[in-house]
Each structure stands twice: as structure tokens, then as C-alpha cells.
Amino acid sequence: MKKVVPSTIIVGAQWGDEGKGKMVDFLAERIDIVVRYNGGCNAGHTVKVGNKVFKLHLIPSGVVQRKIAVIGNGVVIDPKVLVEEVESLKNEGIKLNLLISYKAHVTMPYHKIFDKRKEAKRKEVKIGTTGRGIGPTYADKMKRTEAIRILDLVSEHFSEKLLRILELKVLELLEFGLIKSKDELEDYRKKIIKEYSLYIEKIKEFVFDTSLFLNKSLDEGRTILFEGAQGSLLDVEHGTYPFVTSSNTTAGGACTGTGVGPKRIDKVIGIAKAYTTRVGFGPFPTELNNDIGEFLREKGKEYGTTTGRPRRCGWLDTVILRYAKRINSLDELVLTKLDVLSGIKKLKICTAYELKGKVMKEFPTSISALEKCKPLYIELDGWKEFDGNELKEILRKGFKALPKNAKTYVNKIKELVGIPITIISVGPEREETIVLKD
């Protein structure tokens, strides 16, 4: 196991779904606190321990390791999903030590309706939302006058604040059929209060000043793992806008989303698959709409944890990994799902793009340019499937026991991206992990 530093950010280096859940669970063994800093229940982090599979959407993955789990202020919380997740973990015998920021914003029932129906109205220009109400929740957060925070939810003034907000939203409520006339506004408010009062009773014990807790914990010598949701290319500022999520998925989001300052961050680790996937719409230069793409999808079980949507699959793209390295200040890279590539005779890695006859090694600044980019590849020999005994030997001996061509593939990625690869995942189990020396 690698040496532990006080505070480490885990960030997706592609379009999300890189295997952050497994790696947070793996690294959390020697960590005191895991804090989720962005996104909402549109995220899906899967942790497999033996025969049990935990699918988490709001609570940090480190909770499976019985660590202190913190939901930071940068997260938007659907109370219904949160309560279901808490109860599911309790039913699995996991004792929760959960803290929720009182500054986190709350997804309301109308947010989910707005999300789904606005996406339906976009027709040809859909952005690929999950329909979980995340975008509208963040939009209300930025409006400042139409948002509910956790501190409002657990306040005695929740009901009256909700009424003021519904009055501001009356035209939208009418447009999307949530009320038929303004006279129904009070009944709609009562309906929400009745539902959400059940959730309030179950989560109010967890509400806390988490920024204060995290900073004091660092002062006291505790270790913290900052868990990001989605991936760098889905960041609302630096991703493939508008085909992005509504939060800051990059490392900077860990500071704004938790109230821990940047000088207190010691390390940033990027998580990347050994190939590339993305869900939803938007440009994807190395996408494979062929048998190999289908092979990666089926072997890699590339279906969304939250929505079940099939993921688009393609060759590894080191242009976006170098971009992720730059915008996150990545110190090292964790490579997941290397095992999925086993059995493919010839592998390709994208090293640059071609745009209008020019070679581009840096990620383009505009979405229209990215849509026109042609990937430029190098080709490497693949390796055969390794059986159960060979996998055991690889896990026992480490990197040196990998097939020669697999080692060449990993070393080529390290060379092209320009940062160390320190951990390799070769299966979904916690133990199916190879730790390399720096």
C-alpha cells in the first residue's frame, strides 16, 4: 500500500465512469475521512466486496470501509435518494458515520420534472441529462432567490420559504402541468411538505458544519480523501460544454465544494480507464461504432450505474488525459479495467488529433473544433486473456507478472501523458489491484 498523505483528491480524468468508486474504496483502507465534493444522484459509484455490490449515488464510497463519510456543500442532495441509500447501507450491516453540510443544496420534486420535460423539448439538441433534477437544482443555486439548502430544509421556516419559492416558479409549474391554476399552489406546497417531512426526520441528525469539521480534522492529523463525481471532461467550466454536468468535477471543485482551502491539498490522483467511454451526447473522437466497441461495452459491463444507459466506447485518448493532467494538476494516474483489453489482437492509443490538415497535440478550445477532429493513433500488440491462475500470479507478483505487451501498453501511456501510473486495476474486486512503486 502506498504511503498516505494528509489530503488527496480523487478525480475522473475522462468523461466519468472511470472506476472511482472502486479506487476510493481501495485507498480508503488507510484514510480516516472520505468527503464527496460535487454532483448529485446523477453520479453512480460501484463498489464490489466479495459477493456484495454497493451502488452509491450520494454517500462517499469510503463508507463501505466504515470510514467517516462527509457530503460537502458542493453536492446537491435528493433527500429521497439519500434516505434510501442510508437505509440500504444499514440493512447491509454498515454502521454509518455520516455528516452532511448544512450548506448543500436540495433537489426538490419539481426540479426532476423540469429536467425531464425540458430535455424532451430540446429534440435534436439534447444534452444527455439523467433527468435526476441536478441541472435545475444548480440553476436555482446560482439564481440565489429560488434555492433550498439543507439548513432551510431542517429549519422551522422551511414551509414558508418553500411557498415563497413556489410563488416565483408559478409560471413554470403551470407550464409543466404540476399545477393547473394558481389556486392549486397551496395544495402543491402541502404535498411537498408532507413527503419531505419524512426525509427531514431521518437526515437532520447528520447535518453539520462540515467545513469546520474537515479543517479541524486536518489540524488534528487525520487523513482525508476527496471523492469527485463524474469526470474532468464533464466539468461545467472545462468540459465539452454544453455536453457537461452542472458542477465542477475537476480538482478545484474539491476546495469550493468542501470549504477546505487549496493550500491544504497534498496530492491529486487522476483515475482513467485503459480505454475511453462516455455516456450521453457530445463529441467523442476515438469512439468505436464497430465490433471492438461492442466487445469493450459487453466485457467491461459499460452500462450506467444510475441510468443503465449503454456507454459509448472507444480507444484510449491521451490528448484528453494530458488535458486532464493540466486542468487538475494531476500528480499521478490510476489505470482501471486493463483486464478488459485482454484478447484484442491489436490495440490503438490516440496520441494527437488532425484538424484541417494540422496535427494538434493539445485539446481544442471549442466544441465545434473537437467535432471535426480526426484521431491519430499508434498501434500496439495486444495480449491474450489470462486465466484465473495467471491472474492470481499477477496479483501476487505485481506489475512484473503482467504479459509483456500489457506492460508495454501501460508504459506507453505513462510516456504519452507524462505522469507516473501508480495503481492498476485488473478486475472489479478490491483485491484485484496492483500497486506500483513511484
The residues annotated as belonging to the active site are 17, 45
DSSP reduced 3-state for 58: coil
- What grid cell was written down for 187? 395544495
Residue 64 near residue 48, CB atoms below 8 Å: no
- What grid cell was written down for 390? 495467471
Q: CA-CA distance, 382 to 371, in Å (whole number)? A: 29
Using CA atoms, how far residue 167 sits from 147, 158, 181, 189, 254, in Å, is 13, 14, 12, 10, 34
- What grid cell was written down for 304? 450506467
Residue 325 near residue 417, CB atoms below 8 Å: yes
Looking at the DSSP bridge assignments, the partners of residue 48 are: 53, 429
H runs (alpha helix) in 307-434: 318-328, 367-372, 388-397, 404-417
Looking at the DSSP bridge assignments, the partners of residue 35 are: 70, 226
Q: CA-CA distance, 187 to 200, in Å (whole number)? A: 20
Residues 6+ apart with CB under 8 A from 386: 339, 342, 394, 403
Total residues found in the chain within this entry? 438
Task: Please calculate the CA angle 12-141-99 and round it to the nearest 5 degrees.
Answer: 60
Q: CA-CA distance, 276 to 286, in Å (whole number)? A: 8
Q: How many helices (H) and strands (E) in the chain? A: 15, 20
Q: Is the dihedral of CA 311, 316, 320, 321 positive or negative?
A: positive
CA atoms within 13 A on the CB side of 127: 20
Using CA atoms, how far residue 301 sits from 13, 70, 295, 297, 349, in Å, is 19, 29, 10, 6, 21
Region of 343 please: left (phi>0), alpha (psi -120 to 50) or beta: left
Residue 405 near residue 398, CB atoms below 8 Å: no
Radius of gyration of the chain (CA): 22
